Amino acid sequence: MTRPSADPGTAARVRGLLADVFELAQVRLELFTVEARQELSRLTWMAVMAALAVVFVSFGLIFLAIFLTVLLWDTQRLLALGVFTTLFLGGGLVLAGLAWQRARQGARMFAATRDELRRDQERLRP
């Protein structure tokens, strides 16, 4: 007794379906790669600009504090030093709190890739 062979049309359709799935996965991975490169570029630029901003603002504040302290040296030097110490420490604590809050919120990285994968899942569900 011979077994009935599988329909060649069915095998071709399964191969075509698998080819489509692999092509879809490849496109999604390429989108992920492009987004990763863009995000890395953006983060690098932000880090460089932030570092430069911190350096320049720090030097500016230090020189301003020194200038005003020297200006008030004969009359109110302790008051000037106390005010600048309070300003620098208070500002640093406020900024550290804001940075901590932002870090806890997290970023929505690779949003387009996740949205496309979600749409793909919805299309494939019966």
Contact in structure between 113 and 28 (CB atoms under 8 Å): yes
**Given pLDDT bands bounded at 50, 70 and 90, which one contains residue 2?**
low
What's the confidence (pLDDT) of residue 10? 86
Tokens 């301003």 correspond to 64
User: Is pTM beyond 0.75 here?
Assistant: no
Read off the pLDDT of residues 20-58 as tens digits, 9 standing for 90 and up: 888 888 888 888 888 889 988 988 999 999 999 988 988
Residues 79, 72: contact at Cβ < 8 Å? Answer: yes
